Amino acid sequence: MIPEPFEYHSPQSLEEALRLVTEFGEEGKMMAGGHSLLPMMKLRLASPRHVIDLGRLSELRYIRESDGWIEIGALTTHFQIESSSLLREKCPLLPETAREIGDAQVRNLGTLGGSLAHADPAADWPAAILALDAEIRANSAGGERWIAAQDFFVGLMTTALAPGEILTAVRLPPLPRRAGDTYLKLRQPASGFAVVGVGVRLALNEAAHIERVAIGVTGIGPKAYRAAAVERELLGKPPTARRLAEAAARAADGVQTNSDLFASAEYRKHLASVYVRRALELALERANP
What is the contact surface with another protein in residues (CB under 8 A)? 1-2, 4-5, 43-44, 103, 186, 188-193, 261-264, 267, 270-271, 274
- Over the window 149 to 188, marking each residue x when it contacts ligand FAD by CB under 6 A and - when it does not, the resulting string is ------------x----xx---------------------
Phi (first) and psi of residue 78, to 5 degrees = -55, -40
Q: Which does 207 bind (CB under 5 to 8 A by kind): ligand FAD, another protein, none?
A: none
Q: Does 34 bind ligand FAD (CB under 6 A)?
A: yes
Smallest gap from residue 3 Cβ to another protein (A): 9
Phi (first) and psi of residue 147, to 5 degrees = -120, 130
Smallest gap from residue 222 Cβ to ligand FAD (A): 16
Q: Which does 190 bind (CB under 5 to 8 A by kind): ligand FAD, another protein, none?
A: another protein
Q: Which does 189 bind (CB under 5 to 8 A by kind): ligand FAD, another protein, none?
A: another protein
- C-beta of residue 12 within 8 angstroms of C-beta of residue 56: yes
Q: Which does 223 bind (CB under 5 to 8 A by kind): another protein, ligand FAD, none?
A: none
Where does the chain have alpha helices with state H?
14-24, 37-42, 78-82, 85-90, 93-99, 104-109, 112-118, 125-131, 149-152, 228-234, 241-248, 265-287
Distance (Å, whole) CA 67 – CA 40: 40
Smallest gap from residue 273 Cβ to ligand FAD (A): 22
Tell me how far apart the 2 most distant CA atoms of the chain are, in Å. 62
* 11, 18, 24, 30: which one binds ligand FAD (CB under 6 A): 30
Distance (Å, whole) CA 19 – CA 35: 24
Q: Which long-range contacts (CB under 8 A, 24 or more apart) does 245-249 make?
A: 245/277, 247/280, 248/273, 248/274, 248/276, 248/277, 248/280, 249/273
Strand order in the sheet with 135-140: 63-66, 69-73, 166-172, 135-140, 143-148
Q: Does 110 bind ligand FAD (CB under 6 A)?
A: yes
Q: Which does 21 bind (CB under 5 to 8 A by kind): another protein, ligand FAD, none?
A: none
Distance (Å, whole) CA 194 – CA 124: 7
Q: Does 33 bind ligand FAD (CB under 6 A)?
A: yes
Three-state DSSP class for residue 113: helix
Q: Which does 35 bind (CB under 5 to 8 A by kind): ligand FAD, another protein, none?
A: ligand FAD
Three-state DSSP class for residue 89: helix
Q: Which does 110 bind (CB under 5 to 8 A by kind): another protein, ligand FAD, none?
A: ligand FAD
* 73, 95, 102, 239: which one binds ligand FAD (CB under 6 A): 102
Residues interacting with ligand FAD, by CB under 6 A?
A: 29-37, 39, 54, 74, 101-102, 106, 110-111, 113-115, 117-118, 120, 123-125, 161, 166-167, 192-193
